[in-house]
């Protein structure tokens, strides 16, 4: 990773300017092996995303199509492309890929694009002794093009663009996905997959998808299940959103034992119900256009004993139901929206907008650079970028401001130029001494620069981190997100691994997904920015086949690298919560800790009861200064509480005695701040705190971290900070050093069910 003039490598650019040395990195080129030999395997095609639609900066599924030659072959399949820092990264297919003679093989891969215009190199390395054509490595480059007849990769979507996926039918989601979209906001994209068997078989293949809609009109498409269903379910439980359009085939698919039974909102009855009155559905869609239904009604999948939120009903028949599944959400629709009369209804787009959970807001404005020479990224558009900037601040590492660099260059130019001439020619009158003074000044300047850089940059490896651990008490599952900033005092390559160390992990262990951390937007180094012309990275690093570690990550001297890890696993939560809310809004709760460590600055958030299921209920928060090991806290109507938005924004009323009236004030969010804690809080409750209107930044790149909407689904959240990290970071096989001044923040969130009590309970 060669230093370049942007915020990511600001630790090294000062030295580069002062030394005034131009490094010429070696070119990372590869040869494209001819595919004309009849015995050799040929690489025919690279398919990426869903109908060629995928986002930059997130994991996306890919398929490599191989054609066998006259002889069968086995080998390693990989693909290489630039990461967000334009360092070349390589991804491997798990195990060896077998290609039969004359056969056609579709091999799956998972890729992560760092730039929207970078090519992809696909390589097949046959096993066996090298030398003959059949065992010679084969490499093909696929350019990134918006369109073309030659084999290529489509241009990725922006990381903040929405992508919705329809499965099982050809129903067009586009009208609903883009209805009432504000001017200046990029249009949402949609894709259709007829057969669910073509869906990703790993949960992170959906990382760039905002919502998945299952249309069950073609019931044969869902019979038999498959690994795609487990991957989809895991993605939902980790924060995804699924809309199940059940309709007339709902009983077969969603009844106990059916292929989609896990996505049922309750007890599915074998007999269909009938929907005759569309008034509630029309009101939910907020459209004046009437839905014309035959007097005999339309068939609807009937569900009883619904624990979720019934937002639309026709008598005793639930039509639209929202319910939580882990950290995600499932929306059940009892009628076939892709069939008449719904497919012909002019209000269908508005209904889809509500079902997709779209919350259109104005796009974030680019922030101006911070003053005072602080290391930051101008043009921030997303909270994830602000978090990366915060972890780019290292203790003992000082950025020399450009003004200081310019001043030193002026002094240096004056010493070797006019001052040298004046002193030697006019005062000493021995101009020949310039053969001594000139190299002496140059040598002294180089030594001074070296000493200055050593003083400002230090000689220690530095690692900053933020750990966020979410635990769902209902399913006893955990998901973790770790942001890492690594500062290297030397030119080095690092093998990186991240191991969760949270207490209570079960024997099943955890699975970690480790990657680079992107910078959203078009700022310098941003994911939406074009690749640097003529830039050639020094070295290549690779992902392990399991994608849980990185090998040989290059970091230049006095430079930094942003990384991110996501992990999942089953745990013993260590926290027991019993929580109920009276109809008046008063809580009845106990919180008991079995954790071996204390949680500090705890917030207990919960929803007020609401009689309108389509409206967001008021959200309350109770502050608990410390929750010690073995401590039990009781909460009731006498416990002080306040509205969650007031707590997040500092909203308050202040009395103006001169005007004899009260004024409302909030604490302005610092969108250029570099302290991790307020950034993390904004990411955890972005929508509850007012969204983009409060933070002035978007939260799409890692929007799954925002659990605000889960509070409306009869869920509560206990949040607290711990002293010890929740992960072990390994660099070259050893635990990364924890030095004084390194940034470390660990936060735990526990998601628990809230019982809504009836009057008199």
Rounded to the nearest 10 degrees, the angle between the axes of helix 434-457 and helix 10-19 is 170
Rounded to the nearest angstrom, the gap between the alpha carbon of residue 436 and the centroid of all alpha carbons in its chain is: 58
Which residue did the predictor score with more confidence, 567 or 408? 567
Across residues 216-244, what is the average pLDDT? 92
Across residues 268-276, what is the average pLDDT? 95
Rounded CA gap, 122 and 118, in Å? 13
Task: Identify the residue whose tokens are 């922030």.
Answer: 367
Print burial letters for 377-396: b (CB count within 10 Å at least 16), e (below 16): bbbbbbbbbbbbbbbbbbeb
Give the per-residue pLDDT at 323.
Answer: 95
Q: Is the pLDDT of residue 576 over 60?
A: yes
Widest pairwise Cα distance in the chain: 112
SS3 category, 149:
coil
Print burial letters for 250-260: b (CB count within 10 Å at least 16), e (below 16): bbbbbbeebbb
Rounded CA gap, 395 and 743, in Å? 8
Least confident of 115-119, 446-450, 690-694: 446-450
Tokens of 45: 């095609």
Region of 639 (left: φ > 0; alpha: ψ -120 to 50; beta: rest) is beta
Across residues 736-757, what is the average pLDDT? 93
- % of the chain beyond a pLDDT of 70: 88
Average pLDDT, the chain: 86
DSSP symbol at 691: T
Q: Is the pLDDT of residue 281 over 60?
A: yes
Q: 16 to each of 160, 189, 396, 478, 524, how far by Cα in Å?
A: 34, 42, 19, 44, 18
Give the per-residue pLDDT at 535.
Answer: 57
Residue-wise pLDDT tens digits, 135-170: 688 999 999 888 877 789 999 999 989 999 999 977
Q: Is the pLDDT of residue 378 over 70?
A: no
Rounded CA gap, 454 and 490, in Å? 11
* Residue 413 burial class via C-beta count within 10 angstroms: exposed 0-12, middle 13-18, buried 19 and up: exposed
What residues have CB less than 8 Å from 99, skipping those under 6 apart? 41, 66, 67, 68, 72, 73, 74, 75, 105
DSSP H or E segment with residue 190: strand 189-193
Rounded CA gap, 384 and 382, in Å? 5
Residue-wise pLDDT tens digits, 477-509: 999 999 999 999 999 999 999 999 987 665 457
Q: Is the pLDDT of residue 199 over 80?
A: yes
Query: For every residue of 268-321, which 3-state class applies, written as one string?
Result: ECCCCEEECCCHHHHHHHCCCCCCCCCCCCEEECCEECCCCEEEEEECCEEEEE
Query: What's the pLDDT band for 420 if we cut at 50, 70, 90?
Result: confident
Which residue did the predictor score with more confidence, 738 or 183? 738
Residue-wise pLDDT tens digits, 462-479: 999 999 999 999 999 999
Rounded to the nearest angstrom, the gap between the alpha carbon of residue 295 and the centroid of all alpha carbons in its chain is: 48
Could you tell me which residues are beta bridge partners of residue 244?
214, 332
Give the per-residue pLDDT at 364.
Answer: 38
Q: Is the pLDDT of residue 416 over 90?
A: no
Q: Is the pLDDT of residue 652 over 80?
A: no
Residue-wise pLDDT tens digits, 340-375: 999 999 999 999 999 998 754 434 333 333 333 333
Across residues 2-17, what is the average pLDDT? 39
Give the per-residue pLDDT at 377.
Answer: 42
Rounded CA gap, 430 and 421, in Å? 10
Which residue did the predictor score with more confidence, 312 or 423? 312
Which residue did the predictor score with more confidence, 405 or 219? 219
What residues have CB less than 8 Å from 725, skipping those under 6 apart? 465, 467, 501, 744, 746
Print burial letters for 507-527: b (CB count within 10 Å at least 16), e (below 16): eeebbbbbbbbbbbbebbbbb
What residues have CB less than 8 Å from 344, skipping those under 6 apart? none
Q: Residue 254: which of 246, 211, 321 has the closest Cα?
A: 246
Give the per-residue pLDDT at 21.
Answer: 32
Which residue did the predictor score with more confidence, 539 or 111? 111
Give the per-residue pLDDT at 482.
Answer: 98
Give the per-residue pLDDT at 135.
Answer: 67
Residue-wise pLDDT tens digits, 428-454: 878 888 888 888 888 988 888 877 777
Cβ-contact 210, 62 below 8 angstroms: no
Q: Is the pLDDT of residue 26 over 60?
A: no
Query: What's the pLDDT band for 613 if we cut at 50, 70, 90?
Result: low
Task: Identify the residue whose tokens are 């509500």.
Answer: 354
């Amino acid at each position: 990773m060669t230093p370049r003039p942007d915020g990511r490598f600001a630790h090294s650019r000062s030295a580069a300017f002062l030394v005034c040395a131009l490094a010429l990195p070696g070119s990372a080129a590869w040869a494209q092996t001819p595919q004309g030999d009849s015995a050799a395997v040929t690489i025919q095609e690279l398919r990426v995303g869903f109908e060629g639609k995928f986002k930059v900066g997130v994991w996306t599924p890919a398929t490599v199509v191989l054609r066998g030659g006259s002889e069968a072959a086995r080998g390693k399949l990989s693909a290489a492309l630039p990461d967000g820092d334009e360092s070349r990264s390589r991804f491997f297919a798990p195990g060896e890929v077998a290609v039969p003679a004359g056969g056609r093989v579709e091999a799956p891969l998972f890729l992560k694009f760092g730039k929207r215009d970078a090519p992809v190199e696909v390589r097949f390395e046959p096993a066996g002794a090298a030398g003959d054509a059949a065992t010679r490595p084969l490499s093909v480059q696929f350019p990134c093009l918006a369109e073309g007849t030659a084999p290529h990769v489509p241009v990725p979507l922006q990381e903040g663009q929405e992508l919705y996926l329809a499965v099982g039918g050809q129903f067009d989601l586009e009208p609903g996905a883009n209805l009432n979209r504000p001017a200046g906001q990029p249009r949402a994209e949609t894709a259709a997959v007829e057969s669910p068997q073509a869906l990703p078989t790993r949960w992170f293949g959906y990382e760039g998808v905002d919502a998945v809609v299952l249309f069950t009109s073609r019931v044969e498409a869902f019979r038999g299940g498959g690994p795609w269903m487990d991957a989809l379910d895991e993605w939902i439980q980790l924060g995804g959103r699924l809309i199940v359009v059940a309709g007339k085939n709902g009983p077969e698919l969603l009844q106990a034992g059916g292929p989609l039974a896990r996505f049922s909102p309750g007890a599915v009855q074998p007999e269909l119900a009938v929907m005759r009155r569309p008034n509630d559905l029309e009101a939910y869609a907020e459209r004046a256009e009437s839905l014309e239904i035959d007097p005999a009604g339309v068939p609807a999948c009937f569900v009883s004993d619904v624990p979720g939120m019934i937002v639309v009903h026709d008598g005793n028949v639930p039509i639209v139901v929202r319910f939580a599944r882990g950290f995600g959400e499932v929306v059940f629709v009892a009628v076939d929206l892709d069939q008449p009369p719904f497919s012909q209804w002019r209000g269908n787009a508005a209904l889809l907008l509500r079902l997709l959970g779209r919350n259109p807001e104005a796009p974030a404005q680019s922030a101006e650079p911070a003053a005072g020479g602080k290391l930051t990224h101008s043009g921030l558009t997303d909270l994830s970028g602000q978090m990366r900037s915060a972890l780019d601040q290292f203790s003992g590492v000082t950025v020399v401001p450009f003004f200081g660099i310019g001043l030193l260059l002026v002094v240096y130019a004056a010493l070797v130029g006019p001052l040298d001439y004046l002193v030697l020619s006019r005062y000493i009158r021995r101009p020949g001494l310039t053969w001594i003074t000139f190299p002496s000044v140059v040598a002294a300047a180089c030594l001074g620069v070296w000493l200055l850089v050593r003083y400002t940059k230090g000689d220690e490896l530095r690692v900053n981190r933020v750990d966020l651990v979410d635990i769902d008490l209902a399913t006893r599952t955990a998901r973790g997100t770790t942001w890492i900033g690594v500062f290297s005092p030397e030119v080095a390559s690092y093998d990186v691994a991240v191991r969760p160390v949270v207490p209570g992990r079960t024997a099943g262990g955890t699975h970690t997904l480790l990657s680079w951390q992107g910078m959203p937007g078009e700022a310098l180094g941003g994911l939406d920015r074009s690749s640097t012309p003529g830039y050639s990275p020094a070295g290549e690093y690779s992902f392990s086949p399991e994608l849980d570690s990185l090998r040989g990550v290059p970091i230049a001297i006095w430079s930094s690298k942003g990384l991110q890890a996501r992990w999942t696993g089953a745990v013993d939560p260590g926290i027991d919560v019993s929580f109920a809310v009276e109809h008046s809004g008063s809580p009845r709760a106990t919180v008991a800790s079995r954790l071996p460590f204390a949680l500090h600055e705890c917030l207990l958030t919960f929803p007020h009861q609401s009689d309108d299921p389509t409206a967001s209920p008021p959200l309350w928060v109770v502050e608990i200064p410390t929750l010690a090991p073995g401590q039990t806290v009781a909460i009731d109507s006498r416990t002080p509480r306040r509205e969650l938005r007031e707590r997040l924004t500092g909203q308050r009323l202040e009395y103006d005695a001169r005007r004899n009236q009260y004024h409302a004030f909030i604490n302005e969010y610092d969108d250029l701040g570099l302290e991790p804690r307020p950034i993390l809080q904004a990411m955890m409750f972005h929508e509850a705190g007012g969204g983009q209107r409060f933070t002035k930044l978007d939260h799409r790149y890692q929007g799954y971290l925002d659990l605000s909407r889960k509070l409306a689904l009869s869920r509560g959240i206990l949040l607290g900070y711990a002293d010890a990290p929740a992960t072990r970071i390994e660099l070259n096989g050893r635990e990364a050093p924890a030095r004084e001044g390194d940034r470390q923040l660990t936060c735990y969130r526990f998601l628990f069910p809230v019982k809504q009590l009836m009057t008199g309970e």
